[in-house]
Copies of this chain bind each other. A is one copy, B any other.
Amino acid sequence: MDVQDPTRVRLIQAAGEEFAEKGFAAARVREICERAGANVAAVNYHFGDKEQLYVETVVHVHGCGNEEEPPCGEDAGPETRLRAFIGHFLARVLAIQDPQDWRHRLMLRELILPTAASDVLVRTVIRPKFNRLMEILRELRPEAEERRLHALAFSIVGQCMYYRMGRPVAERVIGSEGFESLDLEFLTEHISSFSLAAIKAMEFAPAAAEPDPAAAGVK
């Protein structure tokens, strides 16, 4: 973390690549140290443990690129703020579009096998963001019950996240060129319009016990 401790920083950098490429178990401490131009014992010296290095690496990953603030004022209308939220979210998702990108893989790994690092990330990064999204949705549909708001939020988040998580499969399904044409601008517009149209047009079922009448009501 110190400016004056480049070895430590280089180790985290190298560890990120290695962990993302190989996973925790398959990652080799020797390889990490060689990539970082450090000694074999450097990891144990600086972090004490391979696992400790992993945790610090994961935390460091989310620390980067997170300093960005919401790109529009709080006084804007909920629709504008939702569009801004989606655009911002998608930008982050697509920014690491390269499947070789180690931050990409490292975070997906955390989804599968959440470690202690995940808890930190949820508390410091993810939940605040989620709460902001919930605020916007509540403004748009104040009468919606909490559960419905959660589902709405997940519908939005899911649409965005798919372009990170589903990329390898989606690319194989519709072809690389087809996938490439789905750029940030288009997707921001698409998901925003899709979601706002849905949010405005949906009729919420009065209670959870009777979803079918609501479904029929859509028609």
Q: Which residues of A contact B (CB under 8 A)?
A: 22-26, 79-80, 83, 105, 108-109, 111-114, 118-119, 122, 126-127, 130, 146-148, 150-152, 154-155, 157-163, 165-166, 168-170, 172-174, 178, 181-182, 185-203, 205, 208, 211-212, 214-215, 218-219
Give min CB distance, A126 to chain B, whole Å.
Answer: 6
Q: How far is the CB of A151 from chain B (nearest CB, A)?
A: 5
Contact between A173 and B218, CB atoms less than 8 A apart: no
Copy tally for this chain in the complex stands at: 4
Contacts A108-B108, A154-B162 aside, 4 further interface pairs with beta carbons under 8 A come to A111-B166, A151-B182, A188-B211, A194-B198
Main secondary structure of the interface of A (DSSP, over half): helix
> Which B residues are in CB contact (< 8 Å) with A111?
108, 165-166, 168-169
Nearest first, the 3 A-B pairs at minimum CB distance are: A158-B162, A25-B26, A189-B211
Establish whether residues A178 and B214, one from each chain, have CB atoms under 8 Å apart when the complex forms: no
